[in-house]
Structure 1
């Protein structure tokens, strides 16, 4: 059996997953381009600087999906989902340039929200035209309903736009949609498409800092030797800053990480201030408040009971974490024991936590200063930060499903094993380790490979790209 061993540099996280995929499909270039990035432009990232606004341009991959949707013959209203401050409104305002006419309604404004007290779709549209002093475009019209979570009735009415006004392009967005959907008794399932927006990934970050040569090198397979360390330095920079659009825009202006603290703190406080919106009552609000304050300090797998050195019960903490998970601020990442597809989540085992953005996590933990002088992040903070960022990259390439990462565990009486991530590629579950260790530290990968139906594994670290052949203790060769 042909066996390959793949060692990926941790700075090239997204390309690594693409590279691993292509090995498995026996067509490196073909599958790479299956995952190729459709670059798009998001403008109007408005930054306040002494009462002046500066327009930035950041490329977002989701734009390509919107273009495909615009021309689809089976187009349904889109519900754009994602946490607060990831750039949803900015993305749609830029996309609006593709249309002859654009109407934007913000349902946090009472006048806009009142329109949806009307039951007739034709009258709703006429009211919107009148309120916004516009009308149908010559060929195409986009109606954007922002903050739709403020009106459960508006969510319900999306189905009627699809049924009665298919010629109108409808996009709705909101940051707390999962909570609003609890109040919608008959959600229009099957009549709405979904699109998920995340913080900027590494490739989008390179577009934001206008480094097109770096993007070109990142898209090259294999990555040129001369580009490896340059990309690694850029990835290190991205790992420190993260992918929140407002933060990246400020960094583009000032090129100074130290002055970003105020913006990070403002964003983090805004998320904490939203706690009341997640809770059903004051008691639940207190528990969620405690959890969001203490969660950043939980570096390993967690237990709900007594979370964050509290006296809260397992049920209370579980409900709080699930609320934060719905808000996409703190995600619950559960393990799997699956070595072949499908990846089955094991909810009985202890999960670990994944935050919305690695840069924000770094700021909350006050670690950015330490990271600046490091050459290799794989061992920093016991590998937590780089593992977290790999997870964030994997999540970011899934724009049409609510994707969550998994890690693999084997828990037996005398032998426990854990692999950092498991990623499904075609008919294989591929193990991914983010380690700086040598072959003698591959025990968990060996355990996984011995039990799976293929000879492939991925290890990410800061070294040069290599393909090596490894043998498990039982004698099975595999590609690492």
Structure 2
């Protein structure tokens, strides 16, 4: 499958020329190993993949015994994998490098040697046990990989042109018109249901069968559960509690994650490590409350008040509608034809979060529950900052609307209260683009362009 990250890999190869290693961090089954091996085949004369999930002791001992003699290190490596190494034209891949932190620490010496290029792939790169007793190399460039975005999904379905049309209309702030908008929303609903995990997309391309796609997504969810049990040692039950409760929390009108639903009088500090684990595994996207919609959203971040979205909306749907083990074809039909009466707001908000993250945004929302002043009482689904910060008008509030009828009370209060701080105001909805009373109404499929 064609992925945008390939362009980033090419850019790294050309610009860095071996001066840094590349670390690709992403959830399990997001396609890291596939894209890196494809890159190696296309762009290098030879390559070696060291998969630390399956590697034997002979290879790991090389990192223990031969880093002081890299000539011997490379000679053993070349012979073990039966691959000829070419100076400045061989890529060495450390796959699932978090399972052997010593290899990650060795990057410092391997990059300094300069003979070959190095890419590391993995997940859970920041949790304590995966960085314990090693010095994280400064020669490491970090790149995050996400599920397929909407445009990549269109490419997988052999549609190369639709997103280019959408970009033109977005820039002109013009509606697409009934026929093109309907076509774009049809594709968007397919993307929402299938999600962006490569195996699920591949199965959909092959079969167009949502039930068979659902089985693939369920396998991925079970893999995540197994990872929680295996790797979240010491707090696996708390991680599993949060993971299982995500759909129920998002289904509420107030989508803020309430720890009290897991355990009476639960405190943030009791679950902080578990939330961090899920975020670091890139299974979830955490959205924090920023207490003022102003420059420096992170500076105003309230870590205790947050929303917890699934990183892939296709997985969320399989996770949420699991009464019979398989999401029924009837539910998928209702989603496809926009006839689902419940849970729609949860799904729409989740996919907007997913698309914003894939576009490079950190997730923030704004919540003021003031009991004293009704004019201050508001909640804005998302806040994003302009790419180029100026003296004022830097923050755009975003409201996500899943239904056809809605009010914009909070958005209008926010505009009145924070006129100097706000840039464009956006409503993301299922209808075509329009600009009305200073508010830009965008169809959901334009989210990646914000």
Contact 1:278 1:323 in 2 (8 A): no
In structure 2, the partner of 1:98 is 43
How many Å separate the matches in 1 of 2:403 and 2:318? 27
CA deviations 1:126-153 (Å, max 9, x no partner) are 2221111122237521111111112111
Q: CA RMSD in A?
A: 2.5
In structure 2, the partner of 1:386 is 348
Q: Secondary structure at the residue paired with 2:314?
A: helix
Ranges in structure 1 where 5+ consecutive residues have no aligned partner:
1-57, 471-477
Contact 2:87 2:116 in 1 (8 A): no
In structure 2, the partner of 1:362 is 317
Report the alpha carbon displacement of residue 88 of structure 1 after superposing the two structures with TM.
0.2
Contact 2:249 2:258 in 1 (8 A): no
- Whether 1:114 aligns to 2:61 is yes
Contact 1:379 1:435 in 2 (8 A): no
TM-score by length of 2: 0.83
How many Å separate the matches in 2 of 1:202 and 1:302? 27
Q: Secondary structure at the residue paired with 1:334?
A: strand
- Whether 1:395 aligns to 2:395 is no
- Whether 1:441 aligns to 2:411 is no
In structure 1, the partner of 2:384 is 423
How many Å separate the matches in 2 of 1:438 and 1:269? 36
1:290-439 to 2 correspondence within 5 Å? 290-299=241-250, 300-304=255-259, 306-308=260-262, 314-344=268-298, 345-347=300-302, 349-366=304-321, 369-374=330-335, 375-376=337-338, 380-381=342-343, 383-398=345-360, 404-414=362-372, 415=374, 416-425=377-386, 426-427=388-389, 428-435=394-401
Query: Per the alignment, do residues 263 and 363 of structure 1 end up closer, same or farther by CA in structure 2, a change over 3 Å counting?
Result: same
1:214-363 to 2 correspondence within 5 Å? 214-222=162-170, 224-225=176-177, 226-281=179-234, 284-299=235-250, 300-304=255-259, 306-308=260-262, 314-344=268-298, 345-347=300-302, 349-363=304-318
In structure 2, the partner of 1:457 is 425
Query: Per the alignment, do residues 447 and 195 of structure 1 end up closer, same or farther by CA in structure 2, a change over 3 Å counting?
Result: same
Report the alpha carbon displacement of residue 92 of structure 1 after superposing the two structures with TM.
0.3
Q: Secondary structure at the residue paired with 1:464?
A: coil
Query: Per the alignment, do residues 397 and 297 of structure 1 end up closer, same or farther by CA in structure 2, a change over 3 Å counting?
Result: same
In structure 2, the partner of 1:171 is 119
Query: Per the alignment, do residues 184 and 276 of structure 1 end up closer, same or farther by CA in structure 2, a change over 3 Å counting?
Result: farther
> Paired residue for 1:133, among 82, 89, 101?
82
Contact 1:378 1:435 in 2 (8 A): no
Report the alpha carbon displacement of residue 332 of structure 1 after superposing the two structures with TM.
2.7
CA deviations 1:150-199 (Å, max 9, x no partner) are 2111111111122222x42110111232235431432113x110111011
- Whether 1:69 aligns to 2:35 is no
Q: Secondary structure at the residue paired with 1:448?
A: helix
1:13-92 to 2 correspondence within 5 Å? 58-73=1-16, 75-92=19-36
Report the alpha carbon displacement of residue 348 of structure 1 after superposing the two structures with TM.
5.0
Ranges in structure 2 where 5+ consecutive residues have no aligned partner:
322-326, 442-450
Name the structure, 1 or 2, with higher relative contact order (CA <8 Å, separation 6+). Answer: 1
How many residue pairs get matched? 407
In structure 1, the partner of 2:446 is none
Contact 2:395 2:423 in 1 (8 A): no
Query: Per the alignment, do residues 411 and 158 of structure 1 end up closer, same or farther by CA in structure 2, a change over 3 Å counting?
Result: same
Report the alpha carbon displacement of residue 236 of structure 1 after superposing the two structures with TM.
0.6
TM-score by length of 1: 0.78
Q: Secondary structure at the residue paired with 1:430?
A: strand
How many Å separate the matches in 2 of 1:418 and 1:463? 22
Query: Per the alignment, do residues 322 and 433 of structure 1 end up closer, same or farther by CA in structure 2, a change over 3 Å counting?
Result: same
How many Å separate the matches in 1 of 2:16 and 2:134? 29
Runs in 1 of length 4+ with deviation above 4 angstroms? 309-314, 374-380, 436-440
